[in-house]
Chain A
Amino acid sequence: MTSLPLAASSDAAQSTLSALTPGTTATVIAVDVPGEVGERLMEMGMTRGTRVTLVRRGFLGDPLQVNLRGYMLTLRKAQARLIRVTA
Chain B
Amino acid sequence: MQIAIAGNPNAGKSTLFNAVTGARAKVGNYPGVTVERKIAPVALPSGQTAQLIDLPGCYSLVARSAEEEIAHHVLTGRLTGERPKLVVCVADATNLARALYLVLQLIELEVPLVVALNMIDVAEKRRLKIDHVELSRRLGVPVVPLSARYGQGLETLLRTIDDALVAPSKPQRFPLGLTEADGITIAALTGDLKRTAGDVTWLLTSNLRDLHFAENDDLEKRVAAARQSLDANTPGSFSRRVIEARYTIIDRLIDGVLDARLVTEDSLTTRVDKVLLHPIWGFVVFMLTMMVVFQTIFFWAQPFMDGVEWLIGALADQLNALIPESLTRSLLINGLLAGVGSVLVFVPQIAFLFLLLTLLEESGYLARAAFLLDRVMRRVGLHGKAFVPLMSGFACAVPAIMAARTIESRRDRLVTIMVTPFMSCSARLPIYVLVIAAVFSSSPKLGGVVSVGGLVMAAMYLVGFLAGLATAFVLKRTALKAPPPPFIMELPTYKMPSAKAVARLVIERCRVFVTQTGVVIVALSVILWALLTFPAHDAATDAERLERSFGGTLGHVIEPVIAPLGFDWRIGIGLVASFAAREVLVSTLGQVYALDADVEPDSPALRDALLADRDPATGKPRFTPLVGVSLMVFFVLAMQCLSTVATVKRETNSWRWPIAQLIYMNTLAYLASLLVYQGGRALGF
Contact = CB atoms under 8 A, between A and B. Distances in A.
A77 to B, nearest CB: 10
Contacts of A62: 374-375
Interface string A1-24: 110100000000000000000000
A37 B489 CA distance: 12
Contact of A70 (B97, B207, B240, B372): B97
A41 B490 CA distance: 11
B380 to A, nearest CB: 16
A42 interface: yes
Given A63-B371, A75-B488, A56 B277 contact: yes
Given A4-B235, A58-B279, A70 B260 contact: yes
Interface in A23-42: 31, 36-42
B483 to A, nearest CB: 8
Given A39-B239, A75-B488, A63 B375 contact: yes
A19 to B, nearest CB: 19
Contacts of A38: 240
B277 A36 contact: no
A37 to B, nearest CB: 4
Given A59-B375, A70-B263, A39 B240 contact: yes
Interface in B89-128: 94-98, 101
Interface in B161-213: 207
A63 B486 CA distance: 10
Given A2-B235, A2-B237, A40 B64 contact: yes
Contact of B97 (A31, A65, A69): A69
Contacts of A50: 247
Nearest to B378: A76
B118 to A, nearest CB: 14
A58 B488 contact: no
Interface string A44-81: 11011110000010111011010001111111100100
Contacts of A1: 236-237, 240
A42 B488 contact: no
A75 B375 contact: no
A74 B492 CA distance: 11
Contacts of B95: 69-71
Given A69-B98, A73-B489, A63 B277 contact: no
A38 to B, nearest CB: 7
B59 interface: yes
Interface string B490-505: 1111000000000000
Contacts of A48: 244
B283 interface: yes
A24 B367 CA distance: 23
Interface string B361-382: 0000001000110110000000
A73 B488 contact: yes
A9 to B, nearest CB: 17
B62 interface: yes
B663 interface: no
Contact of A36 (B94, B96, B207, B263): B207
A2 B374 contact: no
A44 B98 contact: yes
Q: Interface majority SS on A: helix, strand, loop or mixed?
A: mixed
A48 B245 CA distance: 11
Interface residues of B, number: 41
B487 interface: yes
A69 B237 CA distance: 23
A79 B263 CA distance: 29
Contacts of B372: 58-59
Nearest to B367: A74
B243 A37 contact: no
Contacts of A60: 279, 375
Nearest to A49: B251
B60 interface: yes
Given A37-B488, A63-B374, A44 B279 contact: no
Contacts of B251: 49
Nearest to A62: B375
Contacts of B60: 43
Contacts of B236: 1-2, 4
Contact of B486 (A2, A37, A43, A71): A37
A17 to B, nearest CB: 13
Interface string B227-238: 000000001110
A72 B490 CA distance: 6
Interface string B565-580: 0000000000000000
Contact of B59 (A4, A31, A44, A47): A44
Nearest to A69: B97
Contacts of B97: 45, 69-70
Contacts of A42: 240, 243-244, 247
A79 B60 CA distance: 20
Nearest to B370: A74
Contacts of B374: 58, 62-63, 74, 76
Contacts of B492: 72
B488 A41 contact: yes
A69 to B, nearest CB: 5
A59 B278 CA distance: 8
Given A1-B237, A2-B240, A58-B372, A40 B94 contact: no
A36 B64 contact: yes
B491 A74 contact: yes
A71 B487 contact: no
Contacts of B62: 39, 43
Given A2-B240, A38-B240, A43-B62, A76 B487 contact: yes
A53 to B, nearest CB: 11
A45 B375 contact: no
Interface string B246-269: 010001000000001001000001
Nearest to A2: B236
A69 B561 CA distance: 64
Given A63-B371, A65-B277, 13 more contacts: A40-B486, A40-B488, A43-B243, A45-B97, A50-B247, A58-B277, A58-B372, A63-B375, A72-B492, A72-B493, A75-B486, A79-B486, A79-B488
26 contacts: A1-B240, A4-B235, A37-B486, A39-B239, A39-B240, A40-B64, A40-B486, A42-B240, A44-B488, A45-B98, A49-B251, A58-B277, A58-B371, A62-B375, A63-B487, A65-B371, A65-B491, A69-B97, A70-B263, A71-B94, A71-B98, A72-B490, A74-B367, A74-B487, A74-B491, A75-B487
Q: 5 closest Cβ contacts across the A-B interface?
A: A2-B236, A72-B491, A37-B486, A42-B243, A69-B97
Interface of A: 1-2, 4, 31, 36-45, 47-50, 56, 58-60, 62-63, 65, 69-76, 79
